Amino acid sequence: MLSGLFGRLCGHGVQVIGTATLMNCATDYNLEEFQVKICVEKRFIGVEREISYAGEDIESRVGKSNHSSTASAYSLEDRDRNWVSWLIPLFVVANVVMFVVEMYLNNCPKRIKNRGFSYGDYGDKCVARFLGRLSFQPLRENPLFGPSSSTLQRLGALNWAKVVHQHQGWRLISCIWLHAGVIHLLANMLSLVFIGIRLEQQFGFVRIGIIYLVSGFGGSILSSLFIRNRISVGASGALFGLLGAMLSELITNWSIYSNKVAALLTLLVIVLINLAVGILPHVDNFAHIGGFLTGFLLGFILLLRPQFGWLERRSLPVGVRARSKYKAYQYVLWLISLTLLIAGFTVGLAMLFRGVNGYERCGWCRYLSCVPTSKWKCEES
């Protein structure tokens, strides 16, 4: 699941989305589109006062508290909170701890000794031997500075035969917490920090946690349908899910963003480049695609923002018409995405546990994961 450019490019992706800033309502925008003016009649003193509420910049979260008691009654109920990110850092720590466990159980020096070679023979030397049992497998076995494939399988790597024939469905989740090496781990964790922390601050740990885990699960399902004869590990599917959610969030909340076209095009380029890297051999691009599609649909479901001008119905004076919290197209996208997500998981799991080979149903799909060239060959095994 390693994408060579993933860590570097995804960081820019978050910065780019930052340029698609939410429109600052404090500016004097068109009355019909962005501003709500409510006239409140002071019956006892005969004074009519106009209270103008235009909101505050949701993304900057300035959170000024000097609104009058009357004006605060008309504030947006669903205004973004200044969430503190703790779940994404916890995920990072969990992945690092799991990698240390991998290397401890791998015990490269003991493995080399059991093969009958003297410790340190050419070609069979553990890498970074000063680490002792935490040292890495020889580079010809694992060029990513990590454990052996047998250790990864023992700890829960994604393996089609074990999932289908030995009923170890838990591997569809456990594989996203394992990494093939230090390089793999660093690339994914840097990407997770750049993408995940920003999203968690905007939308909270519940929604982002759901997107991360469900996207990783979706990526594992698609990967298992096509890759049968090799194991797969890594959090890249979950990370692509966060990228997909960023894209759908921008689309579904289109009306409240500025600089949105440039941000959309840039984000699309970043996604396409990362998917293109996935056509290299030994990269599980099916996990990337499955995670991205899952996160894309979840973004329409979980990351909706209220339109400007929406107020609580109970806070409105008598005679003032309430405005819908969400636009009609947001409801339509929500319903379509939920339907596709449920159908996709149902069909995918049914095909997986029936032992369906994805390549038999889609012959050209093999080129989504690896394109043969004069420099390398692509083999399903």
> What residue has token string 């701890």?
97
- Full 3-state SS string of the chain: CCCCCHHHHHHHHHHHHHHCCECCCCCCCCHHHHCEEEEEEECCCCEEEEEEECCCCCCCCCCCCCCCHHHHCCCCCCCCCCCCCCHHHHHHHHHHHHHHHHHHHHCHHHHHHHCCCCCCCCCCCCECHHHHHHCECCCCCCCCCCCCHHHHHHHCCECHHHHHCCCCCCHHHHHHHCCCCHHHHHHHHHHHHHHHHHHHHHHCHHHHHHHHHHHHHHHHHHHHHHCCCCCECCCHHHHHHHHHHHHHHHHHCHHHECCHHHHHHHHHHHHHHHHHHCCCCCCCHHHHHHHHHHHHHHHHHHCCCCCCCCCCHHHCCCCCCCCCCCCHHHHHHHHHHHHHHHHHHHHHHHHHHCCCCHHHHCHHHHHHCCCCCCCCCCCCC
Contact criterion met (CB below 8 Å) for 9 and 274: yes
Phi-psi bin for 79: left (phi > 0), alpha (psi -120 to 50), beta? Answer: beta
CA 191, CA 298: separation in Å to the nearest integer? 19
Virtual torsion, Cα 163, 189, 193, 132, nearest 10 deg: 130
Active centre residues (catalytic)? 236, 288
CA 55, CA 248: separation in Å to the nearest integer? 24
CA 44, CA 135: separation in Å to the nearest integer? 81
